[in-house]
Amino acid sequence: MRQAKPGDHVKIHYDGSLDDGTRFDSSVGRDPLEFTLGSGQVIPGFDNAVAGMVVGEKKSVRIPSEEAYGEHSDELVQQVPKNVLPEEIEVSIGMPLQATGPEGEVLNMMVTQVNEDSIQVDANHPLAGKALNFDIELVALNVDE
């Protein structure tokens, strides 16, 4: 059987969890995930895990944070004065916020602390700094797009 290689369009089922067993994402009960291997559509460690698999093969892998969403960066955690927010917004811990970066890019952040005059926001990906565990099954290879 042919093995998946960069440039192949693949369909996979997956179940993702953290080291403590917390499930963060899964295709169970949904359509399989489709992507082109090596195209940067998924995290590097996931691409590497699928490369070499054959249709019907199942495997379990642990992807270290540096091959997933990177390390948590303290530079992406900042205090923001409340007076820069629209008055109608009532912020709370865990609330997602968006801002525009210096080059017009959209920055996604999460409120991690609310103080009297300021809030703390974290622009790290929620899974930054974490190793990710996946159970993967290659369902199809070179599927018509």
Q: Which CATH class name applies to 74-122?
A: mainly beta
The pLDDT of residue 144 = 53
- CATH 2.40.10.330 range(s) for the chain read 74-122
* Distance from C-alpha of 127 to C-alpha of 113, rounded to nearest angstrom: 18
The pLDDT of residue 107 = 87
The pLDDT of residue 14 = 98
The pLDDT of residue 145 = 45
**pTM of the full predicted structure?**
0.81
The pLDDT of residue 87 = 86
* Distance from C-alpha of 95 to C-alpha of 40, rounded to nearest angstrom: 28
Low-confidence residues in the chain, pLDDT < 70: 143-145
CA angle 66, 50, 137 (to 5 degrees): 120
CATH architecture of 9-70+127-141: Roll (3.10)
* Distance from C-alpha of 57 to C-alpha of 12, rounded to nearest angstrom: 10
* C-beta separation of 93 from 111 below 8 A: yes
CA angle 140, 70, 72 (to 5 degrees): 140
